[in-house]
Amino acid sequence: MNVPFMKNGTAAPERRSGMAEILQNIAYAAWLVLAALVFVGLRRWNRRFSDLYDELKEQIEEEQDG
């Protein structure tokens, strides 16, 4: 098999077919969507736990005062 080499001596990257490139782009998009969903989910969790923490803190302060 004859492998084409670039000027710096490394093997030239293989050209992908159109279908492989489309599938690669779909995979990239899927990862971006997944990352966005995880980011939104973590922000929502942060907000919920912050609210729970504030509520718990208020209850503890009420018990200490009363």
Q: What's the pLDDT score for residue 12?
A: 61
- pLDDT tens digits for range 20-58: 899 999 999 999 999 999 999 999 999 999 999 999 999
Rounded Cα gap, residues 36 and 3, in angstroms: 40
**Confidence band, pLDDT 50/70/90 cuts, at residue 8:** confident
What are the domain boundaries of the chain? 37-66
Rounded Cα gap, residues 43 and 49, in angstroms: 10
Distances (CA, A) of 55 to 23, 47, 50, 63, 65: 48, 12, 9, 12, 15
Strand (E) positions, the chain?
A: none
10: DSSP letter = S
Structure token digits, residue 61: 């302060």
